[in-house]
Amino acid sequence: MSSALVPHEPPALPIAAPIDLRQRRDPLDRLPGTRDDDPFERLASAWLLGISAPKTARAYRLDLTAWASWCARAGVHPLAAERFHVDAYKTWLSTTPSARTGRLRAPATVARALSALAEFYSYGVSAEVLSHSPVADVKRPRVSPDSQAAGLSAPELRSVLAVAQTHFPRATALVLVLMLTGARIAEVLGTDVRDYGSSDGHRTLRLTRKGNKRARVVLPAAVVRALDTYLDGRTSGPIFLTTRGDARWGYEHAARLLTRLCTQAGVSAEVTAHSFRHSYATEALAMGVPLQDVQDAMGHADPRTTRRYDRGRAHLDRSPNDRLAAALLGGHRTEEPST
């Protein structure tokens, strides 16, 4: 037999030291930390390590901290909580004003907090630290099919842009990118100059979306002009830098600038950085851009997410019935219905 047909033996993997598998029998030994640390914190740390998006990880950490604080007041350890504890927590979330806003939490906020707990406890079950999840059968609040975020109208968007243009070029570039691409502010702030380029005859910006998915968005000419003016020939580093130009512009500072621009433009105080993304979707859909195109542009995995921004989807004049009848029946006369 030819030696070329004999598969090579794979090299042996180096083993630093023998391992006693009996040392790994306790699931807690597989988690970060030591037995002197609280097991809830150890399990939370292990779970959060698997979440790649920093903003999502921070949000989940806040959800777990709020849950742990409620459990402490209720006199139960989070890993000993049962279904009725979670039901009581859901009621508390729904009926107690938020310390941050002073208002009752929206059903979507409560549902998101319970979703975070459900994922955390499911992880605990799969890691064999827990025997069951107390959140498994808890019903979450019904969420409105419409997005509850505040959006900006077309005149308001133009007003905010006009105010931004009286500031530094950085403000104009950020507003235009958000307004005309629908990208999340965190995605935009995470870009580097090397992500700003061309593809298939279009100027584009390459983003890192949720789940570390990479995507290119097309940049209209107005955005390209604003970015070129702001970058002023710079060829490396983050696109959006701090005022001193020595570090990447942070989310909180950028969001505060957008709030100030909106205030100066006379736009509602309810507007947030996400409002620009909301406005992109509602305006594009109102102009008749196909739902699937808006979905792809925004990076939504599920078209139902995009449909939440479609304010006119229930309008009767958008019904396809008459158009379908005209196409199928053509010039055939049909008897007019009696009224």
pLDDT for res 1: 41
What are the start-end ranges of the E strands in 209-303?
214-218
Q: Are 204 and 218 in contact (CB under 8 A)?
A: yes
Q: In this predicted model, what pLDDT tens digit does every residue of 212-270 receive, in sequence order?
A: 788 888 999 999 999 999 999 999 999 999 988 889 999 889 999 998 999 999 986 57
In a shared domain, residues 237 and 190: yes
In a shared domain, residues 35 and 158: no
SS3 state of residue 7: coil
Side by side, the strands of the sheet bearing 196-199 are 196-199, 202-208, 214-218
Question: Where in the sequence is the domain holding 168, given as residue range(s)?
Answer: 154-311
Is 262 among the domain residues?
yes
Cα gap 55→169, rounded to integer Å: 26
Q: Which of 41, 42, 49, 36 is nearest to 67 (CA)?
A: 41
Q: How many domains does the chain have?
A: 2
Is 273 among the domain residues?
yes
Pairing state between β 196-199 and 214-218: unpaired
In a shared domain, residues 173 and 232: yes
In a shared domain, residues 203 and 294: yes
Cα gap 209→186, rounded to integer Å: 9
Is 145 among the domain residues?
no
In a shared domain, residues 175 and 297: yes
Query: Percent of the chain beyond pLDDT 70?
Result: 81
Q: In this predicted model, what pLDDT tens digit does every residue of 285-339 receive, in sequence order?
A: 777 778 778 777 777 777 776 677 666 555 556 567 777 777 788 755 555 555 5
Is 271 among the domain residues?
yes
Q: In this predicted model, what pLDDT tens digit does every residue of 97-137 receive, in sequence order?
A: 988 778 888 888 898 899 999 999 999 999 899 999 999 98
**Single-letter amino acid, residue 122:** S
pTM of the predicted protein model: 0.59
Residues 6 or more apart in contact with residue 115 via CB below 8 angstroms: 140
Question: Which phi-psi region, left, alpha or beta, contains residue 293 (left: φ > 0; alpha: ψ -120 to 50)?
Answer: alpha
- Averaged pLDDT for residues 148-156: 74
* Residue 73 vs residues 29, 61, 67, 70, 111: alpha-carbon distances, Å: 29, 19, 10, 5, 22
pLDDT for res 212: 77
Cα gap 317→61, rounded to integer Å: 46
pLDDT for res 20: 57
pLDDT for res 101: 76
